[in-house]
Structure 1
Amino acid sequence: MAGFRNGRGRDNRPPQQQPQQAPYGYNAAPPPYPQQQWPPQAPQGAPQRAPQGYGEPEYFGDPYPQQHPGTANNPGHTQAFSIHDDPYGDAAAYQAGAAPVVPTGPRLPWKALLSGIVLRPAPTFLQMRDHPVWGPALVVTFLYGLLAIFGFDKARDEAINATLSTAIPYVLMTGAGFVVAGLILGAVTHTLARQLGGDGSWQPTVGLSMLIMSITDAPRLIFAVFLGGENGLVQVLGWATWLAAGALFTLMVSRSHDLPWPKALGASAIQLIALLSLIKLGTL
């Protein structure tokens, strides 16, 4: 503190010896070194810059750089868009595998559903892709299983020759077994469709696959009940209905999971092979 009281650290020269400071805004006395030209002149060949006022900060670089397309989105660069431009592309463009924005349609009653699978398969599958069909699927598959036992020659003879108390549980168990098999095969088809990029729900896929399995085999089963499984007409109907089932499975998976038909057919392959080996080849 003593140093500050004695004035140490300050300029103690008499007032008359202190240099006069120029008012703010005026240039001071010329410095002892040679005065340079202001603003400095750029070398020949260098890009010219606009002169700046004295006392203003100097900004290095081109004040109006040319924007290149590759640097529009780099840090420090901006890209202008008009009001109607979408920098991320067309937002309404279709994307494969995307879920539908709006429901595809109201739920069809069971009569329209069953007839639509046969007469109008494409719009029916598209309209029912978001609606479970457990009621029609379980009932139709169970009834199909009750009659399917009579399409096999050996099983039909055993059921006819057995007593009533033995035949009824046997037939009921066969119907329940077809329902369980339909559920398992439909779940496998749905899982494969999702693995291949599908976006459909499992309930409509499983229910519709059970209906396809039962409805497509109905013509063969009707003739097999009366003519037997070894009949030539029954065998021809068996192969024809199997091909029809393959077409309907492919169409259903394609509409329900928004997949191209090769992937839809691949997702249905295991179910088709199982139906051929368990039902069709069993009668052939």
Structure 2
Amino acid sequence: MPVTTSPPPSTPAATPRRLLWHRLIFGLWYRPVEVLDESRDRSVWGAAAFLSLLCGAMGTLAVDSFWGQWGVSPVLALEALAIGSVVMMLASFLLGAATHAIARRLGGNGRFGPTTSLFVVLFWASDLPRLALDTWLPAGSVPVRAAASVTAAFGSALAVLLIRGQHHLPTRKAVAAVSIQMLAAVALLKFPPGSG
């Protein structure tokens, strides 16, 4: 009498571990490759919006005109702070969207949400040390300019890793996809005219 064997019970697919904000933001500094691999194909709009607003506020606090306005009218100064933060968030998302669009034109196959939101997160996460120094020190001081150089290089390297992984592009195409946006952002934000 033939013996029938039943197929082995199927094991449920392991659900990916929840990517907490602090692990994402700070993990980019001490284990960037693992974090970018763990966050692949995940949209992180909440973390992107939070970092954009936080860094926009920090950047506004570093401007002397904000404190001059604060001495005249704190309410107007806070309104300017809020407007500046929102504008920075929108500009960040446009920067990420442009990076995604260029990567797709170069043959990439990544999704819009993960690419755009992760690009914003890594851009601002890598810029946090420079912003923290810039809030307390003069913009043209040696520590601020040194931090700007280091964080610009680190942020560009992270952006290349992100695009290469998300869009499955060779390194040279990933560099081409991020170079224009990163150079423009570095020139306008990290080394603004008149800061030297």
Compute the TM-score of the two structures, normalised by the length of structure 1: 0.60
Deviating beyond 6 angstroms after TM superposition, the runs of 4 or more aligned structure 1 residues are none
Q: Secondary structure at the match of 1:172?
A: helix
Hey, what does 1:172 align to over in structure 2? 82
The answer to whether residue 130 in structure 2 is matched with residue 220 in structure 1 is yes
In structure 2, what is the Cα distance between the partners aligned to 1:148 and 1:125? 26
Match of 1:141 in 2: 52
Tell me, in whole angstroms, the C-alpha distance in 2 between the residues paired with 1:107 and 1:268. Answer: 28
Are 1:144 and 1:175, in contact at CA under 8 Å, matched by a contact in 2? Answer: yes
AA of the residue aligned to 2:75: S
Query: Which one has more relative contact order, counting CA pairs under 8 Å at least 6 apart?
Result: 2
| Structure 2 unmatched ranges of 5 or more | 1-12
For these two proteins, the number of residue pairs brought into alignment is 182
Q: What per-residue deviation string (whole Å, max 9, x for no partner) do you get for residues 1-50 of structure 1?
A: xxxxxxxxxxxxxxxxxxxxxxxxxxxxxxxxxxxxxxxxxxxxxxxxxx
Kindly provide the amino acid, as one letter, of the partner of residue 52 in structure 2: T
Q: Is the 8 A contact 1:107 1:128 kept in 2?
A: no
Structure 1 equivalent of residue 42 of structure 2: 131
Q: Give the distance between the partners of 1:221 and 1:229, measured in 2 at CA.
A: 10
2:174 maps to which residue? 264
1:151-190 matched pairs, under 5 angstroms: 151-152=62-63, 154-190=64-100
C-alpha separation in 1, matches of 2:72 and 2:153: 35
Contact 2:66–2:77 (CA<8 Å) still a contact in 1?
no
Deviation at 1:158, TM superposition (A): 3.4
Contact 1:216 1:241 in 2 (8 A): yes
What is the rounded CA distance, in whole Å, between the counterparts of 1:268 and 1:158 in structure 2?
A: 36
Q: CA deviation at 1:251?
A: 0.8
2:27 maps to a residue whose letter is: G
2:14 & 2:93 partners in 1: Cα distance? 25
Q: Which runs of 5+ in 1 are unaligned?
A: 1-101
Which amino acid in structure 1 is aligned with residue 139 of structure 2?
G
User: Equivalent pairs: percent with the same residue?
Assistant: 29
Once residues 101 and 35 of structure 2 are traced to their aligned partners in structure 1, the CA distance between those partners, rounded to angstroms, is 22
Name 2:10's counterpart in structure 1: none
> In the alignment, is the contact (CA less than 8 A) between 1:129 and 1:201 conserved in 2?
no
Match of 1:19 in 2: none
- Aligned partner of 1:181: which letter? A
Aligned residue runs from structure 1 range 82-161, under 5 A: 105-152=16-63, 154-161=64-71
Change (3 A) 1:103 1:265: farther
- 2:113 and 2:40 map into 1 onto residues whose CA distance is 9
Which of 103, 113, 119 is residue 203 of structure 1 equivalent to?
113
Q: Deviations over 1:236-274 (max 9, x none)?
A: 111111111111111111111111211111100122122
Partners of 1:128 and 1:236 lie apart in 2 by: 30
Cα distance in 2 for partners of 1:103, 1:148 equals 41
Contact 1:104 1:129 in 2 (8 A): no
**Contact 2:70–2:76 under 8 Å retained in 1:** no
Distance, in Å, in 2 between the alignment partners of 1:172 and 1:103 is: 42
Question: Which residue of structure 2 aligns with residue 251 of structure 1?
Answer: 161
Matched-pair contact (CA < 8 Å) for 1:189–1:268: yes
**CA displacement, residues 202-245 of structure 1 (integer Å, 9 cap, x when unaligned):** 11111111111211111111111111102111111111111111
How big is the shift at 1:196? 1.0
Offset from partner CA, 1:126-145 (integer Å, 9 cap, x none): 22221110111101111111
- Give the helix-richer structure, 1 or 2: 2
CA distance in 2, matches of 1:155, 1:238: 21
